[in-house]
């Protein structure tokens, strides 16, 4: 199999990098007093301060003007598997972790924002109504799937929707919802047939919800590992009314739409992790060449060489898996098990590579001067969203048994 990246995809990745290096990183540097510390990045509630939100919107809209912001939508909406995998890898490799105006801003999450694959399940006239605002980066989305008692076990959700004439009334709580404190629209999934859901035979329906609707609120931010704030929150739906024509597909078939998004998210996450792992290995190699102990660079010590080699092998395996999976998706082949394997392996691989890089850097690795500590925390988080490693193994086992 030939995994050579076609010239057009290479050119796209280089164009994205030029935009980031020429416009986004200089903008970030000019506002370093605001963006350089989480004490100024977030307010007392953990939300981004208005000035940061304005900068993020500025970058989104500029990225959209240049055609980058819509790269990762469903192919019918403007994106594809191999393009997504390559561009995410290259971008994360070159810029590294913890860039508040880059990650999920220049290129949105392929699942929860921008032209999410979930949107193709809307009726064409409804999609057209909202498409321009979303594609331009002016409006943002969130996806309300997980709940306090329904993460991996999605059929355990309690949020329900009851039909009332031409509308549905949504009631319940969603948790761990990325971008929920800032989103203009939410893709919310709710029980419409509890008996079918109990049998794992459908019963869940998706709805496109305006977050300004009466009864919709995000009462709190969920601070994740080592952060003072962020973009993850809790959604409360208290009798939120949604028109029936704002459904994703057929009644009771919402999980089909949701899984389109989840699989895209898993691929994007895997590619991002691979790029960050390459960044971490590069940092470790360069440091090992200049740091000396016992009169020689530590790169000459076998213990360090073994760690570098293990990281290189991890990255090579992850890259091969990701390229193969992206090729399967683009060629229309079944890839449920492959997506799960790639997500589990790549996120776990990043943790191993970051850990080794910190070890090679010694005390310097424990500070955040080189951003390795931030990368390590990010790596640990990535093993959980969009399905834990255990759930990915369960999916893989079921697909092969």
Which range is least confidently modeled, 155-159, 257-261, 395-399?
257-261
Averaged pLDDT for residues 96-114: 87
Q: What is the DSSP string of 103-128?
A: BTTTB--TTTSSS-GGGGGS-HHHHH
283, 277 in Cβ contact below 8 A? no
Answer with the residue of higher pLDDT: 371 or 333.
Answer: 371
List the one residue out of 18, 109, 11, 93 whose CA is nearest residue 60. Answer: 109
Cα-based distances in Å from 380 to 95, 296, 312, 348 = 19, 33, 19, 8
Averaged pLDDT for residues 125-153: 93
Note the pLDDT of residue 109: 81
**In this prediction, what percent of the chain has a pLDDT beyond 90?**
78
pLDDT tens digits, 32-88: 999 999 999 999 999 999 999 999 999 999 999 999 998 876 555 444 578 888 999
Query: In 43-201, where do the E strands start and end?
Result: 141-144, 160-164, 167-178, 185-191
Note the pLDDT of residue 154: 85
Cα-based distances in Å from 399 to 198, 315, 336, 392, 394 = 22, 25, 8, 11, 9
- The number of C-alpha atoms within 13 Å of 159 and in the hemisphere containing its C-beta is 32
**pLDDT of 19 higher than 90:** yes
**pLDDT of 260 higher than 80:** no
Pairing of strands 167-178, 160-164: antiparallel
Alpha helices in 213-335 (DSSP H): 254-290, 302-330
Residue-range domain boundaries for the chain? 7-117, 141-254, 256-400
CATH 2.40.110.10 applies to domain 141-254: yes
Task: Classify the C-alpha dihedral 33-104-184-129 as positive or negative.
Answer: positive
Instruction: Give the best-scoring range by mean pLDDT among 76-85, 122-131, 143-152.
Output: 122-131
pTM more than 0.85 = yes
CB atoms within 10 A of CB 243: 13
Task: Classify the C-alpha dihedral 260-108-91-39 as positive or negative.
Answer: negative
Cα-based distances in Å from 182 to 98, 137, 237, 347 = 19, 13, 16, 26
Averaged pLDDT for residues 104-133: 90
Averaged pLDDT for residues 202-231: 95
Note the pLDDT of residue 137: 95
Averaged pLDDT for residues 229-239: 96
List the one residue out of 221, 361, 326, 260 whose CA is nearest residue 1. Answer: 326
Q: CATH for 256-400?
A: 1.20.140.10
Residues facing residue 150 across a β-bridge: 147
Distance CA 270, CA 342 (A): 6
CB atoms within 10 A of CB 348: 18
Helix, strand, coil share (%) of the chain residues, nearest 5:
55, 15, 30
Note the pLDDT of residue 78: 41
Note the pLDDT of residue 73: 66
Q: What is the DSSP string of 341-389?
A: HHHHHHHHHHHHHHHHHHHHHTHHHHSSTTSHHHHHHHHHHHTSTTS-H
266, 110 in Cβ contact below 8 A? no
**pLDDT of 227 higher than 80:** yes
Instruction: Give the best-scoring range by mean pLDDT among 64-78, 108-122, 300-314.
Output: 300-314
Which range is least confidently modeled, 222-231, 297-306, 341-350?
222-231
CA-only gyration radius of the chain, Å: 21
| Domains 141-254 and 256-400 are alike in CATH topology | no
184, 146 in Cβ contact below 8 A? no
Distance CA 1, CA 64 (A): 34
Averaged pLDDT for residues 133-148: 95
Averaged pLDDT for residues 21-30: 97
The rounded mean pLDDT for the chain is: 93
Angle in degrees, 0-180, between the axes of helices 7-19 and 81-95, rounded to the nearest 10: 40
189 confidence band (pLDDT: 50, 70, 90)? very high
Answer with the residue of higher pLDDT: 258 or 18.
Answer: 18
């Amino acid at each position: 199999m030939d995994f050579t990246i076609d010239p057009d995809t290479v050119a796209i990745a280089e164009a994205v990098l030029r935009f980031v290096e020429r416009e986004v990183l200089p903008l970030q540097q000019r506002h370093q007093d605001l963006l350089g510390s989480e004490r100024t990045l977030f307010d007392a509630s953990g939300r981004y301060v208005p000035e940061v939100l304005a900068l993020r919107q500025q970058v989104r809209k500029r990225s959209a003007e240049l055609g980058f912001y819509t790269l990762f939508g469903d192919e019918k909406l403007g994106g594809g598997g191999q393009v997504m995998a390559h561009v995410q890898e290259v971008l994360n490799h070159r810029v590294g972790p913890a860039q508040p105006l880059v990650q999920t801003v220049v290129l949105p999450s392929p699942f929860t924002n921008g032209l999410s694959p979930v949107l193709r399940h809307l009726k064409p006239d409804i999609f057209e109504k909202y498409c321009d605002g979303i594609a331009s980066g002016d409006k943002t989305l969130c996806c309300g799937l997980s709940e306090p008692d329904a993460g991996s076990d999605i059929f355990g959700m309690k949020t329900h929707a009851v039909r009332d004439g031409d509308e549905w009334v949504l009631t319940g709580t969603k948790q761990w919802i990325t971008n929920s404190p800032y989103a203009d629209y939410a893709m919310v999934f709710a029980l419409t047939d509890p008996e079918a859901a109990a049998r794992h035979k459908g019963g869940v329906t998706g709805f496109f919800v305006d977050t300004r609707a009466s009864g919709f609120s995000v009462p709190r931010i969920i601070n994740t590992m080592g952060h003072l704030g962020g973009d993850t929150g809790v959604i409360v739906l208290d009798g939120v009314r949604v028109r029936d024509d704002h459904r994703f597909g057929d009644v009771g078939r919402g999980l089909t739409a949701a899984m389109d998004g989840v699989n895209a998210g898993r691929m994007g996450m895997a590619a991002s992790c691979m790029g960050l792992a390459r960044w971490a290995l590069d940092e470790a190699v360069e440091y090992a060449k200049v740091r000396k102990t016992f009169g020689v660079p530590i790169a000459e010590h076998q213990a360090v060489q073994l760690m570098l080699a293990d990281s290189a092998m991890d990255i090579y395996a992850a890259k091969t898996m990701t390229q193969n999976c992206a090729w399967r998706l683009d060629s229309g082949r079944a890839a449920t098990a492959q997506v799960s394997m790639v997500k589990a392996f790549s996120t776990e691989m990043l943790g191993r590579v970051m850990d080794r890089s910190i070890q090679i850097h010694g005390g310097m690795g424990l500070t955040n001067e080189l951003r390795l500590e931030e990368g390590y925390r990010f790596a640990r988080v990535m093993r959980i969203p969009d399905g834990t490693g255990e759930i990915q193994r369960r999916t893989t086992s079921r697909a092969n048994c």
